[in-house]
Amino acid sequence: MKGYLVIFFTQQNRRYQGKMLGEWIVDVAKEMGLRGATLCTGIEGFGHTGKLHSSHFFELADQPTEIRMAITEDESERLFKRLEIEEISVFYVKTPIEMGTVGKKAS
């Protein structure tokens, strides 16, 4: 099956509607019935401003965060239409992929 790998990049301290932005995006994906989303935190990174974002022993608020989804073209269109109406700004990467499942189904 053809689709897209969509990755959103943010920081743990960014919030929207009372939630961490990453958690909010995962909740939207689930609410829309998308096939899945994974929230990952990074140790260190920097963005377009050149500011270093990292996890420290006492302060995790600035920790880099990614939300990853392997979705169909239709799901991608619906997701981006939904995000466009919100009052957020988030950087993303959208790459064409082939996706599927291999092996036996669990019983």
**Is 99 inside a domain boundary?**
no
Which pLDDT tens digits describe the chain residue by residue (107 residues)?
Answer: 999 999 999 988 899 999 999 999 999 999 999 989 999 987 666 666 776 656 555 555 567 899 999 999 999 999 999 999 999 999 999 999 999 999 988 77
Whether the pTM exceeds 0.85: the reply is no
Give residue 66's domain range.
2-91
**Is 79 inside a domain boundary?**
yes
Element (H, E) at 24: helix 21-31
**Is 28 inside a domain boundary?**
yes
CATH of the domain at 70: 3.30.70.120
- d(CA 92, CA 107) in angstroms, rounded, equals 36
- d(CA 88, CA 82) in angstroms, rounded, equals 11
Q: Give the pLDDT confidence score for residue 47 in this predicted structure.
A: 66
Q: Give the pLDDT confidence score for residue 100 in this predicted structure.
A: 93
CA atoms within 13 A on the CB side of 34: 29
- d(CA 1, CA 29) in angstroms, rounded, equals 19
Quote the number of domains for the chain.
Answer: 1
